[in-house]
Amino acid sequence: MARRALITGITGQDGSYLAEHLLAEGYEVWGLVRGQSNPRVARLPKDIHLVRGDLLDQGSLISAVERVRPDEVYNLGAISFVPMSWEQAELTAEVTGMGVLRMLEAIRVCSSRGGEIRFYQASSSEMFGQVRETPQTEVTPFHPRSPYGVAKAYGHFLTQNYRESYGMYAVSGILFNHESPRRGAEFVTRKVSLGVARIKLGLATELRLGNLEARRDWGFAGDYVRAMHLMLQVGKPEDYVIGTGRTQSVRELVEAAFTAADLDWERHVIADQSLHRPAEVDLLCADPKKARTQLGWEPTVPFEELVAMMVESDLRLLSEGGDPQDSSWP
C-alpha cells in the first residue's frame, strides 16, 4: 500500500515542490486546507487529496489526522513573511508557534491508538537571528529578531520536547532561505526577479528595496524539500541544518539579477529606509555538514544559476501576461 503523507501549507512554494516529490516517490499525498474557496486550493492538481483543517483549531487537526491516518506529517503551514509578524504578532504566535503544538497533540492522540506517525517541523534560520557564530550549525544558540523567529523557536523546542517526552519520531529541519520561480512575490529574491523582468519589458523603471547589506544563504527550494523527506527516512529522529554554506548580500543578489537581464542595477534600484525592519538579521550562513554526511543531501543549484532561473521565469511569465501571485503551482 502507498505510504500516506499529510502536508500543511500545501498551496505554498515548499508545499508544491514537496507534494510533487512525494508523488514521484509513490506516496498518497494529502493537503490540509482551510476551505475550498481559496483559488490556490482550486488550482491544486487532482491527484492531491484534500482534508479540511486549520492550525488554529485543535479539534480540526485531530479529525484530519484521524481521517487521513498518515505515515508522515509535514508541517509547512505558517505566517512566513517576516515583516508581517510585527504587524500581526499574536496571529503569528498562534499559527506559526501554537499551530505546532496543536499538530503534535493531534499526532500524539491519534498515534496512541496504534501506528507511528512521523512528524517534520519547518524550522527556520530566522531562529539564529543575531547570530552567535558563523556558520550556524544544529547547536548554535538562538537569538530571534522578529515575532516570526520567536514563534519558530517555540515550535522548534516543542518538537524536540515531544520527541524527548513521548518518544515521538519528530524532527525539525532548520532551513535557510530557499527560493524558486514559485516563491511568493513579497520575498526579496522574487521581488527582485519580478522587478528586473518588469524593467526589462518596459513595464516599470524603478525597484524600491530595503536593507541592501543583509546577507543570506540562498538555495533552491526544490533541493530543500528532498532534505525534508530524507529526515523522516533515517533510523533516528534528529534535527538538521539545511543550506548551501555560501552567503550573499541583497546587493549581490540585485547585481546578479540585473546582470542576468543585461541591465545596470544602479540606474533602477532605490534604497528605501521605510522598508527596513524594526530589527534585522544581518548575516546568515549555514554549515550543512551534518545533512551531507548523515543524509547524503547536497544542494544542486548555485546562487547565480538560481537567480538567472528566477529572472528568466519572470520574463516569460510577464511577457505571457501571467499573474505573479499565482505562481506557487506551475
Shortest spacing between CB 34 and ligand GDR, in angstroms: 19
Site string for ligand GDR, 240-269 (x = CB under 6 A): ----------x-------------------
User: With CB under 6 A as the contact rule, which of the stretches 105-113, 120-128, 229-237, 303-311 interacts with ligand GDR?
Assistant: 120-128
Query: Taking CB under 6 A as the rule, does residue 277 contact ligand GDR?
Result: yes
Binding residue for ligand GDR, selected from 21, 105, 187, 249, defined by CB under 6 A:
187
Joined together, the cell numbers standing for residue 268 give 533602477
Of 227, 184, 43, 118, the closest CA to residue 31 belongs to 43
Element (H, E) at 41: helix 39-42
Residue 180 appears among annotated catalytic residues:
no
Query: Taking CB under 6 A as the rule, does residue 328 contact ligand GDR?
Result: no
Residue 126 appears among annotated catalytic residues:
yes
Query: Taking CB under 6 A as the rule, does residue 136 contact ligand GDR?
Result: no
Count CB neighbours of 327 within 10 A.
Answer: 21
Instruction: Specify whether the CB–CB gap between 255 and 212 falls below 8 A.
Output: no
Query: Taking CB under 6 A as the rule, does residue 82 contact ligand GDR?
Result: yes
Binding residue for ligand GDR, selected from 214, 227, 228, 291, defined by CB under 6 A:
214
Residue 164 appears among annotated catalytic residues:
no
Shortest spacing between CB 68 and ligand GDR, in angstroms: 25
Instruction: Specify whether the CB–CB gap between 215 and 249 falls below 8 A.
Output: yes
Q: Strands (DSSP E) along 36-180, which ranges?
A: 49-52, 72-75, 118-124, 170-175, 178-179
Binding residue for ligand GDR, selected from 4, 118, 156, 216, defined by CB under 6 A:
216
Shortest spacing between CB 156 and ligand GDR, in angstroms: 11
Nearer of residues 10 and 175 to ligand GDR, judged by Cβ: 175
Element (H, E) at 270: strand 269-271
Q: Are strands 72-75 and 118-124 parallel, antiparallel or unpaired?
A: parallel
Q: Is 245 left (phi over 0), alpha (psi -120 to 50) or beta?
A: left
What counts of helices (H) and strands (E) characterise the chain? 12, 13
Nearer of residues 246 and 277 to ligand GDR, judged by Cβ: 277
Residue found by looking up cell 538562538 in the block: 142
Contact residues for ligand GDR, defined by CB under 6 A:
80, 82, 124-126, 175-177, 186-188, 191, 209-211, 214, 216, 250, 275, 277, 280-281
User: What residues are labeled active site?
Assistant: 124, 126, 148
